[in-house]
Amino acid sequence: MVRIGPYQIIELLGEGGVGRVHAAFDTVLEREVAIKSLRPELLNDKSFLERFRNEATHLARLNHPNITTLHSLFSEGHNLYMVMERVRGQSLDELLRARGARIGIRDSLTLITQVADGLAYAHSMNVIHRDIKPANLMITETGLVKIMDFGIARARGSQRLTRDGGIVGTLPYMAPEQLRGEPGDERSDLYSLAIVLYEMLAGHVPFAAATDYALMQAQIHARPPRLYLPDLAPDVESALLQALAKKPEHRFDSVQAFRDTLRTSALRYEAAGRGRTLMPIPTAFAARWLARIDRATFMRFTVMAAAVVLAVSLLGLVARMLLSSPSSDPSSLDLLAAPKTPSLERAAATGSGRLPPAIIPPPQTSRPQPAVLERERHAH
């Protein structure tokens, strides 16, 4: 088995015009990695060596769940090797070709907001990718999106890596200012991201032509065709068309602003996909807030809510007891205090108002008084 330093090469994962990527095993840390290297015929080309080191330098500055993690860069022999995390899954380009059709709106928004998260972070670190396209977006087996290939990325304010009069990027996804040879900025990445979203929703890129020149002219001058999808919310299409504006100043100010607009819609589509009606916007913002708080904060709020519910329940119980207590009217107290015989209770229950026969007292015979008896005896 081939070894490069402490890494055992397992298999070839991919190969392009610039380099190769192999799956390998780190025998020191006992983990799977991916090793990227330049093609042998390019090792004497200083521009490609500069691009390779440039990618490693930019990746080393970034640490985000939606960006591939760089472990190390080392040289052995005449080649350079970039050791990165092994991402198991497939690229968005492979997913689009495998389906042969567009991706659903909900899934498209879920995936594209992840890419926007990674890009927004890279921009906050002053790194511009400049080559956002489906082939550079990996989707893991768990649905996590990873941005790959920062080979032509540029730090804000640094010199470009292009040859004189040349451009770098992928024509169907390049912003108009890039095609005009301008350096571009974060809004150029935003334009490329919008092209990717358009392709996911429509099943094809907005601009296509028979020649590269015609394609460049379409990117610079033509308006993207409208998307006539019955389930596409107007705010999503409006945000997409704004991000595809020809002039950077007409687009969103940042990828983050574009992401926030799409994320609200994504939450509503997610709710609708579970069989419920579309989530109202205030609820969507609440869901976003709940998703961002940590576990400890959530537990504190849960305990506080439980305490409030318990206190309200106790107050309700006390109020009920007070309202159900006997009246202060004396007559009512006397009636309540008077003992009731079972017979009286039965009479009250029957509603007759008469005592049962069994308890009617027998008639009393009149008994003569002692003085009357004495007079009668003297008379005789």
In the chain, the domains with their CATH numbers are 3-85 (3.30.200.20), 89-297 (1.10.510.10)
Q: What's the pLDDT at 371? A: 56
Q: Which of 26, 117, 131, 189 is catalytic?
A: 131
Segment 13-39 mean pLDDT = 90
The sign of the CA dihedral 162, 168, 174, 176 is: positive
Closest CA to 258 of 187, 184, 178: 187
Give 368's pLDDT tier (boundaries 50, 70, 90).
low
For 328-360, the pLDDT digits (tens) are 444 443 434 444 445 444 444 444 445 445 444
Kindly tell me if the per-residue pLDDT of 69 is higher than 60. yes
Residue 17 has pLDDT above 90, yes or no: no
- Joined together, the tokens standing for residue 361 give 């007292």
Q: Supply the DSSP symbol for 67.
A: B
Measured CA to CA, the distance from residue 250 to residue 223 in angstroms comes to 14
Quote the percentage of the chain above a pLDDT of 90: 45
Distance CA 136, CA 93 (A): 8
pLDDT at 259 (0 to 100)? 94
pLDDT the model gives residue 287: 39
Sign of the dihedral through C-alpha 45, 50, 53, 58: negative
Q: Using the 8-state DSSP alphabet, how is residue 58 labeled?
A: H
281-292 and 255-273 are packed helices; what angle lies between their axes, rounded to 10 degrees?
110
Residue 274: the pLDDT is 44
State residue 161's pLDDT score.
Answer: 41
Based on its alpha-carbon atoms, the radius of gyration of the chain, rounded to whole angstroms, reads: 42
Please give the mean pLDDT across all residues of the chain: 79
Report the candidate in 122, 246, 240, 120 with the shortest Cα–Cα distance to residue 177. 246
Q: Which residues touch 308 (CB under 8 Å, ≥6 apart)?
A: none
> What was the pLDDT predicted at 143?
92
In this prediction, residues 272-291 reach a mean pLDDT of: 41
| DSSP calls for 213-266 | HHHHHHHHHPPPPP---TT--HHHHHHHHHHT-SSGGGS-S-HHHHHHHHHHHH
CA atoms within 13 A on the CB side of 136: 23
The kind and range of the H/E element at 3 are strand 3-4
Residues 8, 27: Cα–Cα separation, whole Å: 7
pLDDT at 184: 84
Whose tokens are 């040289």? That residue is 75
71 and 59 Cβ atoms separated by less than 8 Å: no
115: nearest Cα among 81, 75, 155, 143: 143
pLDDT band at 52 (very low <50, low <70, confident <90, very high): confident
Cα(first)–Cα(last) distance of the chain, in Å? 153
CA distance 133 to 130: 9
Q: How confident is the model at residue 42 (pLDDT cuts 50, 70, 90)?
A: confident
pTM value > 0.75: no
CA distance 36 to 154: 19
Give the model's confidence band at 166: pLDDT under 50 very low, under 70 low, under 90 confident, else very high.
low
At 108 the pLDDT is: 93
For residue 18, give the DSSP letter: S
Does residue 107 have an active-site annotation?
no
* pLDDT bucket at 102, cuts 50 / 70 / 90: confident
Higher pLDDT, 210 or 163: 210
* Least trusted range by pLDDT, from 65-74, 83-92, 250-259, 350-359: 350-359
Mean pLDDT, range 264-283, rounded to an integer: 56
185-209 pLDDT, tens digit each: 999 999 999 999 999 999 999 999 9
